[in-house]
């Protein structure tokens, strides 16, 4: 189903790309834009994950450079029945994470240094399980390609404004270009919204099943949301089309790019996870807000530990 949805998405974005080209340069502009869109669709299918990781300066890590994080992802992947994804770290103080890749065999998960410093081991396991759920559901293909093409639509609209529109003898061309600078990014964000909200709830549910405790992810979401409110993510602000990739919207809202939210309200996600934990008999509504226990009181997780290991987050 997600491959079908991705096909429809690519067709819609290609059509939008063609309209942008027509309004900027007439029939010739439309043909050029459609040609570029076709080439971009092929390129983004194979390379959108690399573009997303590069946009945020992600660096690949292994068991030598981030041993406990990599081991955590490996054990959670085994529980999820997934191949081991590549693991990346992003040097960014904002707590956040995302997954990318065209299929489970070519997937990657990325976490910021801020999230490693902010979350407990159990909470980080909940976040990584959420990202693995996106991979398991094949959400990452749709999300990453959308981010790539939405960014391109915004760029071509601004490019058209810079050159004043293709029909220079007709004020409508310039007006159309000005409108496109505003409407094209919004149109792309509307398409992003259409695929964002339900998939986050589903990834939360499946992620909770993978890690074994919905409260771990619920606690993580609360901490991440508070961190996002106070810590800007400059790379995300520079590449706002990548915002739907993250577990919590990384944008500050100071720009028009954050006019539409690409994620469900965090409190609603926490409430859904808390309700799931209650139905599983794992805790009360407020359980996730208690400070993480230490030492021998740490619940046994999918990594099998009774003592909380010290990870790359200290």
Q: What residues have CB less than 8 Å from 278, skipping those under 6 apart?
A: 284, 285
d(CA 63, CA 139): 27
Residue 200 labelled as part of a binding site: yes
Catalytic residue at 63? Answer: no
d(CA 243, CA 258): 9
Residue 130 labelled as part of a binding site: yes
d(CA 161, CA 179): 9
Distances (CA, A) of 187 to 153, 209, 213: 9, 35, 37
**Dihedral sign of CA atoms 177, 178, 182, 183 in order:** negative
User: Residue 97, by phi and psi: left (phi above 0), alpha (psi -120 to 50) or beta?
Assistant: beta
Phi first, then psi: what are they for 307, rounded to 5°? -95, 140
Maximal C-alpha separation, the chain: 76
Residue 134 labelled as part of a binding site: yes
Q: Which of 68, 122, 123, 131 is catalytic?
A: 131
d(CA 250, CA 247): 8
Closest among 77, 75, 93, 95 to 85, alpha carbons compared:
77
Alpha helices in 163-289 (DSSP H): 171-211, 214-230, 234-238, 266-279
Rg from Cα positions in the chain: 21
d(CA 64, CA 53): 21
Catalytic positions are 131
């Amino acid at each position: 189903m997600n491959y079908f949805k991705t096909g429809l998405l690519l067709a819609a974005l290609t059509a939008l790309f063609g309209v942008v080209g027509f309004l900027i340069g007439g029939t010739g502009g439309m043909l050029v834009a459609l040609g570029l869109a076709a080439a971009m669709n092929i390129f983004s299918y194979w390379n959108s994950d690399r573009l997303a990781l590069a946009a945020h300066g992600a660096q690949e890590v292994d068991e030598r450079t981030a041993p406990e994080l990599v081991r955590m992802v490996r054990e959670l992947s085994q529980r999820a029945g997934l191949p081991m994804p590549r693991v990346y770290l992003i040097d960014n103080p904002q707590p956040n994470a995302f997954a990318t890749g065209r299929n489970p065999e070519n997937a990657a998960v990325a976490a910021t240094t801020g999230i490693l410093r902010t979350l407990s081991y159990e909470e980080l396991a909940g976040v990584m399980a959420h990202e693995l759920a996106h991979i398991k559901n094949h959400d990452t293909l749709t999300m990453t390609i959308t981010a790539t093409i939405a960014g391109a639509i915004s760029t071509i609209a601004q490019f058209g404004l810079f050159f004043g529109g293709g029909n220079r003898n007709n004020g409508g061309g310039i007006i159309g270009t000005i409108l496109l600078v505003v409407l094209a990014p919004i149109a792309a964000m509307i398409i992003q919204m259409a695929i964002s909200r339900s998939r986050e709830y589903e990834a939360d549910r499946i992620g909770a099943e993978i890690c074994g405790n919905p409260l771990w992810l619920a606690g993580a979401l609360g901490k991440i949301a508070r961190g996002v409110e106070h810590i800007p993510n400059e790379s995300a602000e520079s590449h706002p089309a990548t915002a739907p990739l993250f577990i919590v919207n990384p944008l500050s809202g100071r720009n028009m790019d954050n006019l539409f939210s690409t994620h469900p309200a965090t409190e609603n996600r926490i409430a859904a996870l808390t309700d799931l934990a209650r139905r599983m008999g794992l805790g009360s509504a407020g359980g996730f807000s208690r400070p993480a226990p230490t030492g021998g009181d740490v619940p046994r997780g999918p990594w099998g530990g009774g003592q909380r290991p010290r990870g790359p987050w200290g």
